[in-house]
Amino acid sequence: MGKHTGDAVVVAEGLRKRFGQTQALDGLDLTVPAGQVYGLLGPNGAGKSTSVRVFATLTRPDEGRATVAGHDVVREAGAVRREIGLAGQHAALDEQLTGRENLRIFGRLFHLGTKRARERADELLERFDLAHAADRLVKTYSGGMRRRLDLISSLIVSPTVLFLDEPTTGLDPRSRNEIWDTVRDLVGQGTTVLLTTQYLDEADQLAHNIAVIDTGKVIASGTPDELKARIGGRIDVTVGDAAEIPDAARALAVLADTGTEPDVDADRRLLSVPVGADSLALPDIVRQLDQAGVKAVDVGIRRPTLDEVFLTLTGKPTTTTTEEAAR
């Protein structure tokens, strides 16, 4: 059960799980190295939550096997549970208890003993800045506070692996940043974090490695930079005078991926061109346009969205996009 950086701490081989008509996992393979944040990126229904539930011993796979910290999630579920923490998009707390009571009960259930459980609850509340709300009922907490309490509930006994299932979905940017800081802090102390998210941005900010999953299996993996290089981004340029559009188009074609013509929206005087994400910096673009004699009123590098990741990786839009378009 080594905790040396680089050792695989979560391993999945050919996981399959079916719920009625839905094939939630369809041959998922995954190797998560110790000591880093590993991002599972995918749209709703891709199988992110199901895989976390399998790793956390909440769901049994139909086929395939998985180990966490060297223990089989089915045959050695008890040993796995001693090594993991779980926090999710649905805060797993007792609404009708105070924050402090929640932590104390969880501490007792982690077998700290009543006294140590009390101390640990106070320590965590203090350290994660929830002491002011410790004696209020959780049902009076804001979304961000709940999520934070949920997260620290999974830290009562420092876990070897922490599973975070969409920890920031639905949170405001400030609460999201707080969660991110906590996650970075934990990894700094040696915890391995498996994080699921729908946000490329979040995976980019936090994860050392990312696996993109769709329809229950991994369709691409790598570091954020590797993935972004595959996916690329776009440069959007708005010119002040429609007459400058052809010049701007020529300038952008130089910057763009080989052989790509810029999309032109003449009414809005907007030009847009796909580029390799890290190949360009804003000053380069401005200089290029300047040399072509173009007076740009707005220039932006647009990072790829999750939809674009999917479009690139699978050749089809994500299911969420289709649903939204149909609405």
Partner 1 sequence: MTATATASPLRTGLSDGLAVMSRNLLKLKHQPGQIVATFAFPLVSVVLFGYVFGSAIPIPGGGNYREYLMPGLFVMSTVFGVMGALTVIAKDNGLGVMDRYRSMPMARSAVPFGQTAADLVIAAGSLVIMAACGLLFGWRAHNGIGATLAGFGLLLLLQYAVSWLGVFLGSLAKNEETAARIGPLIMPVTMISNIFVPTDGMPAILQAIADWNPVSAATAACRELFGNPGLPAGDVAWPIANPVLATVGWCVLLLAVFVPLSIRRFRTAGL
Residue 141 touching partner 1 (CB under 8 A) = no
Q: Which residues is 218 bridged to in the sheet?
A: 213
In the complex with partner 1, the residue whose CB is nearer, 59 or 318, is 59
Residue 72 touching partner 1 (CB under 8 A) = no
Residue 229 touching partner 1 (CB under 8 A) = no
Residue 130 touching partner 1 (CB under 8 A) = no
Tell the smallest beta-carbon distance from residue 138 to partner 1 (Å).
10
Which range, of 2-10, 24-32, 86-94, 265-273, touches partner 1 by CB under 8 A?
A: 86-94
Tell the smallest beta-carbon distance from residue 110 to partner 1 (Å).
6
Angstrom distance (rounded) from CA 312 to CA 224: 15
In the complex with partner 1, the residue whose CB is nearer, 156 or 249, is 156
Q: Among 82, 91, 85, 57, which residue's Cα sits nearest to residue 72? A: 57
Tell the smallest beta-carbon distance from residue 111 to partner 1 (Å).
5
Angstrom distance (rounded) from CA 251 to CA 272: 12
Which range, of 153-161, 175-183, 228-236, 309-317, touches partner 1 by CB under 8 A?
A: 153-161
Residue 111 touching partner 1 (CB under 8 A) = yes
Tell the smallest beta-carbon distance from residue 83 to partner 1 (Å).
9
Contacts of 164 (CB under 8 A, 6+ apart): 87, 88, 151, 183, 193, 194, 195, 196
Number of shown-chain residues binding partner 1 (CB under 8 A): 32
Residue 56 touching partner 1 (CB under 8 A) = yes
- CB 106 within 8 Å of CB 118: no
The binder of partner 1 chosen from 13, 94, 122, 247 (CB under 8 A): 94
- CB 10 within 8 Å of CB 42: no
Angstrom distance (rounded) from CA 208 to CA 174: 22
Which tokens is 156 given?
A: 């009562």
Give all strands of the β-sheet with 296-302 in edge-to-edge order: 263-265, 270-275, 233-239, 296-302
The binder of partner 1 chosen from 36, 50, 51, 57 (CB under 8 A): 57
Residue 92 touching partner 1 (CB under 8 A) = yes
Angstrom distance (rounded) from CA 39 to CA 202: 9
The binder of partner 1 chosen from 39, 42, 88, 144 (CB under 8 A): 88
Phi, psi values for residue 277, rounded to 5°:
-60, -40
- The contact set with partner 1 (CB under 8 A) reads 53, 56-60, 78, 81-82, 84, 86, 88, 90-98, 101, 105-106, 108-111, 137, 153-154, 157
